[in-house]
Structure 1
Amino acid sequence: MTDTTDNGWPESYSDPRDRPHPNELRVTVESGDEARAGTLDTAAAVADGESMPAVVSFASVADLRTILTDRRIELLRTLVKTDGAADSITALSDTLDRDYRPVHDDVTLLADYGLLFVVDEGQSKRPYVPYERIHLDVELVGDASDEEPAPA
């Protein structure tokens, strides 16, 4: 039997760089039922040997916009352009020409939502995006009854 970490990954996958990842991350807005159905479809396709993108779903456009601010998108874009990793959060903040603390907070939040990973290397934490591309998939439809009305 293979030893596993607290999150269920085999011990050999304790470093997220060692885990298998698809080339693309899709960020979507969909209901819980839609996300669940999509996850089941993806699991079935992967079991059949198909390559599928990773998916992170938000319940509403408002939720997505709260998390994916312009600065956080710039942070993700910077990591994707630099082969997915920065040497440290300090190095990333220098590249972005931003203060360390807000960049650290952004990295932590994006990691909490599964949009990036953090590799713990002793004293240093390396932000890591294993995807070659991140695709934002937001569908705007006529029935937005679950959205709050726009201010007048």
Structure 2
Amino acid sequence: MTEPTDDGWPEKYRDPRDRPHPSVLRVTVESFEEMREETRNATETASRGDKQPAVVSFATVGELRTILTDRRIELLRALLAIGDAAESISALADDLGRDYRAVHDDVSLLADHGLLFIVAEGRSKRPYLPYERIRLDVELVGEMPGEESAPA
């Protein structure tokens, strides 16, 4: 049996490029209950051999907007265009015409939220986005009669 890595993957998958990934990353805003139900449904679908997108969910639209700024969306689009791991964070910053530190911070934040991966090669960190597309799936609904809105 292969020992798991720190993130729970077997050693042979230490490099995220070696892991199986779906072609689509779906970014949603869902409550915990909705996320749990969707996870159950995805597990059942996967057990039948059907492909499901990877899903990253945020609790509120505000949280999603805090993470997915215009600059970070630009960064994700650049990685989608590369189709593999970027040469380095420095090279990505140069391609985007941005400061290294700002891009490094954005890459770290996006990785912390599961929106991209970091391939470590020696001292170098290469941002990696294994998906062909990212789909933002945000549903806005009005208040139901009798419901109180959550405090801001």
Q: Could you tell me which residue of structure 2 aligns to residue 75 of structure 1?
A: 75
**Partner residue of 1:28?**
28
**In 1, are the aligned partners of 2:85 and 2:119 still within 8 Å (CA)?**
no
TM-score, normalised to structure 2's length?
0.94
CA distance in 2, matches of 1:114, 1:137: 16
**Counterparts in 2 of 1:123 and 1:61: CA distance versus 1, 3 Å:** same
Deviation at 1:147, TM superposition (A): 6.4
Q: Mark the runs of 5 or more structure 1 residues left unpaired by the alignment.
A: none
Counting only pairs closer than 5 Å after superposition, residues 2-151 of structure 1 correspond to structure 2 as: 2-143=2-143, 145-146=149-150, 148=152
Q: Distance in 1 between matches of 2:40 and 2:80?
A: 27
Paired amino acid for 2:64 = L
Gaps of 5+ in 2: none
Deviation larger for 113-122 or 76-85: 76-85
Alignment partners' CA distance in 2, 1:47 and 1:137: 24
What is the Cα deviation at residue 3 of structure 1?
Answer: 1.7
Question: Deviation at 1:84?
Answer: 3.7
Cα-Cα RMSD: 1.2
Q: Distance in 2 between matches of 1:147 and 1:133?
A: 34
Does 138-147 or 42-51 show the bigger shift? 138-147
Q: Secondary structure at the match of 2:52?
A: coil
What TM-score, normalized to structure 1?
0.94
